[in-house]
Amino acid sequence: MVTGMLVQAAGLLLALAILDRPLLAGILSAVALGLGTAMVYPALIASVSDHAHPTWRANALGTYRFWRDIGYAAGALVAGLLADTLGLNATVLTAAGLTAVSGVLAARWITGRPGH
């Protein structure tokens, strides 16, 4: 999860770093974002499953998916407001920063011990 989040953050920064070559920026950042997401997504679902008792695992997964999906909508709204207020570059930098911080916090908080 940690590496995936950091790869996603790097993909966002990569888009800004080579903005003078928009096609290359789009392709490379999309690949990095896709790889990072592929690393994170199944690990998050597995983590919820690993830490939930079998009798309430389905409820835990449903709750996780609810908040994950709400995050997509809220993130889009916040990104739109930030882009209108601060501009697209600042919005992408903010998204990269939040993603990187999420990865760092995951590295700090994940113990690898299910049930704790």
Contacts of 18 (CB under 8 A, 6+ apart): 24, 25, 28
pLDDT of residue 111: 66
pLDDT of residue 57: 93
Taking the C-alpha atoms of residue 66 and residue 84, their distance in angstroms, rounded to an integer, is: 27
Q: What is the mean pLDDT of each run of 10 residues along the chain (116 residues)?
A: 95 93 94 96 90 92 94 95 96 96 90 55
pLDDT of residue 69: 93
pLDDT of residue 51: 87
